[in-house]
A and B are shown apart, each in its own frame.
Chain A
Amino acid sequence: MTAFRLELRRNRVLAIWLGTALAGYAAIMGLMYPFLKENDALVQQYMAAFPKGFMAAFGMTGSLADPGVLFSTYVASMIWPVIAAAASMLIGTRAVAADLDRGFLDLPLSTRITRVGYLASSILGQVSVMALLAACAVLGLWITARLVGADFDLGRFGLAGVLCFAFGCAIAGPTTLLSVLTLSRGMAAGIVGGVLLVMYAIFVVAQLSKDWAWLAPISAWNHLRTTEVIDNGTFPIGDLALFTGVAVAGWLAALWAFRRRDLAA
Chain B
Amino acid sequence: MTDLVIEAAGLTKYYGKRRGVEGVTFGVPEGEAFGFLGPNGAGKTTTIRLLLGFLRATGGEARLFGGDAFRDAASLHARVAYLGSDPGYLGELTGAEQLDYLAELRGLPRRAWSAVAERLELDTTVRIRRLSRGNRQKIGVVAAFMGHEPLLVLDEPTSGLDPLMQREFLALVAEARTNGRTMFLSSHNLVEVERTCDRVAIIRDGRIVDVSTVGELLGSHWRSINLVLAEPPAPDAFDLPNVEVAAMTGREVHLMVRGDVNPLLERIAGHVIQDIAITTPDVEDLFLHYYRDEIPATTAEGVPA
Contacts and interface: CB of A to CB of B under 8 A. Distances in A.
Contacts of B55: 262-264
A107 B75 CA distance: 15
B284 interface: no
Given A113-B74, A263-B55, A264-B15, A107 B104 contact: no
B49 A263 contact: yes
A103 B74 contact: no
B188 to A, nearest CB: 18
Contacts of A3: 105
A117 B73 CA distance: 13
A13 B84 CA distance: 28
B2 to A, nearest CB: 22
A45 interface: no
Interface stretch (B85-93, B111-119, B203-211, B293-301): B85-93
Contacts of B102: 107, 111
A103 B75 contact: no
A262 B70 CA distance: 9
B65 to A, nearest CB: 13
A104 interface: yes
- A10, A260, A263 — most chain B CB neighbours (10 Å): A263
B87 A2 contact: no
Interface in A218-265: 260, 262-264
Interface string B100-113: 01101111000000
Contacts of A112: 74-75, 77-78, 105-107
A109 B74 CA distance: 8
Given A104-B87, A262-B56, A110 B80 contact: yes
Interface string A96-116: 000100111011111111110
B84 A106 contact: yes
Contacts of A113: 74, 105
Size bin of chain B's contact surface: 20 to 34
Interface class of chain B by DSSP:
loop
Interface string B50-64: 001111100000000
A107 to B, nearest CB: 6
A195 interface: no
A3 B52 CA distance: 19
A2 B104 contact: yes
A10 B84 contact: no
B82 interface: yes
Interface string B143-186: 00000000000000000000000000000000000000000000
A6 interface: yes
A184 to B, nearest CB: 14
Contacts of A104: 87-90
Contacts of A117: 74
A104 B54 CA distance: 12
Contacts of A6: 101
Interface SS of chain A: helix, strand, loop or mixed?
A: helix
Interface in A93-149: 99, 102-104, 106-115, 117
A13 B91 CA distance: 13
A6 B99 CA distance: 12
Contact of B56 (A10, A114, A260): A260
A103 B101 contact: no
Contacts of A264: 15, 55
Given A113-B74, A115-B74, A10 B90 contact: yes
A22 B107 CA distance: 39
A228 B261 CA distance: 94
Contacts of B15: 264
Interface string A166-191: 00000000000000000000000000
A103 B88 contact: yes
A117 to B, nearest CB: 8
Contacts of B105: 2-3, 108, 111-113
Interface string A60-90: 0000000000000000000000000000000
A93 to B, nearest CB: 15
Nearest to B16: A264
A108 to B, nearest CB: 6
Contacts of A110: 52, 77, 80, 82, 84
Contacts of A109: 52-54, 73, 77
Interface of B: 15, 49, 52-56, 73-75, 77-78, 80, 82, 84, 86-90, 92, 101-102, 104-107
29 contacts: A2-B101, A10-B90, A10-B92, A13-B92, A102-B88, A103-B84, A103-B88, A104-B90, A106-B52, A106-B87, A107-B84, A107-B89, A107-B102, A108-B105, A110-B52, A110-B77, A110-B80, A110-B82, A110-B84, A111-B102, A112-B74, A112-B75, A112-B107, A113-B74, A115-B73, A260-B56, A262-B56, A263-B49, A263-B54
Given A13-B92, A107-B102, A112-B78, 10 more contacts: A2-B101, A10-B92, A103-B86, A103-B88, A104-B90, A107-B84, A109-B73, A112-B75, A113-B74, A115-B73
> When A and B form their complex, which 3 residue pairs have the shortest distance between CB atoms, in order from nearest?
A103-B88, A102-B88, A110-B82
